């Protein structure tokens, strides 16, 4: 039995992955952005060992989630599932002055990675839309470019892979991988999405808990349990180090 923490697990892919892991007999800690959402997920999935609470659009609240995580003990795996989609028609700025997609999809994953005791496995949720992201950090907060919700989302999903590959390079003792869950019928994906929730969660569950040699790798990007090559720019050590440095500057917390 493994201890696994799943961020953004009040519904959708996160809750689906948590349920699959619970069905397999693992101890799973969930996460919700508010006490109200935590109550809802507790009623939906009472088998969870604990539900951590914190809005990952806030640096301070993300630190709070990390502190709660420490209080539960070390995890064998962490699935960084939390994220927001791209339906927003305008640029939303968080209380920290950051573009919201970047704050939730990238910076929160970075800060939790830096603060939570290293697990054996780390899984970051990306997307096939990462190929449309800007392979640089010239304007991560969208202060210079004309706003595009889909563009902001694509940027962050590309940077999630950059973050994963940076962690895999820096921490060779940890198996860090990224997942494209596909276009899944969730609240984010919409009812018309062609792929099922079961298909969407299978790969992160496999990477988090399986003894299959194919799952015990690092620095890879997967779609439906098959490794794929992400955008070549994600392999740039220079871009990886720039992202780590930028996130460390924003949070005041370098990656150990």
Count, in order, helices (H) and strands (E) of the chain: 8, 8
Catalytic residue chosen out of the listed positions 110, 124, 157, 221: 157
d(CA 222, CA 175): 13
144 labelled catalytic: no
Closest CA to 9 of 161, 120, 40: 40
Catalytic residue chosen out of the listed positions 153, 216, 223, 246: 153
| The pair of three-digit structure tokens given for residue 68, joined into one six-digit string | 């709660």
153 labelled catalytic: yes
| The pair of three-digit structure tokens given for residue 223, joined into one six-digit string | 């779609």
Which residues lie below 8 Å from residue 7, measured CB to CB, with a gap of 6+? 14, 31, 56, 65, 78, 79, 80, 81, 82, 108, 109, 112
| The pair of three-digit structure tokens given for residue 238, joined into one six-digit string | 């220079």
Q: Determine how β-strand 121-125 pairs with β-strand 3-6.
A: unpaired
d(CA 80, CA 57): 14
List Cα–Cα distances, 48 to 9, 226, 247, in angstroms: 11, 29, 31
Task: Name the residues annotated as catalytic.
Answer: 153, 157
């Amino acid at each position: 039995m493994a201890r696994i923490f799943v961020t953004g697990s009040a519904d959708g892919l996160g809750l689906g992955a948590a349920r699959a892991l619970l069905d397999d007999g693992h101890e799973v800690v969930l996460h919700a952005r508010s006490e109200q959402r935590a109550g809802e997920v507790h009623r939906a999935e009472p088998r969870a060992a604990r539900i951590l609470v914190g809005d990952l659009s806030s640096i301070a609240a993300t630190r709070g989630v990390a502190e709660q995580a420490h209080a539960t003990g070390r995890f064998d795996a962490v699935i960084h599932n939390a994220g927001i989609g791209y339906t927003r028609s305008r640029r939303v700025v968080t209380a920290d002055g950051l573009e919201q997609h970047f704050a939730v999809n990238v910076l929160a994953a970075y800060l939790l990675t830096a603060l939570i005791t290293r697990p054996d496995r780390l899984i970051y949720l990306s997307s096939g839309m990462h190929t449309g992201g800007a392979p640089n950090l010239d304007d991560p907060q969208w202060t210079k470019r004309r706003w595009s919700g889909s563009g902001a989302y694509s940027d962050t999903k590309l940077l999630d892979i950059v973050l994963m590959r940076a962690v895999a390079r820096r921490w060779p003792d940890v198996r860090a991988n990224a997942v494209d869950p596909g276009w899944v019928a969730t609240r984010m994906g919409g009812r018309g999405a062609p792929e099922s929730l079961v298909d969407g969660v299978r790969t992160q569950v496999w990477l988090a808990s399986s003894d299959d040699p194919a799952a015990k790798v690092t620095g890879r990007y997967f779609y439906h349990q098959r490794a794929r090559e992400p955008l070549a720019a994600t392999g740039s050590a220079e871009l990886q180090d720039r992202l780590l440095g930028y996130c460390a500057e924003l949070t005041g917390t370098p990656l150990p």
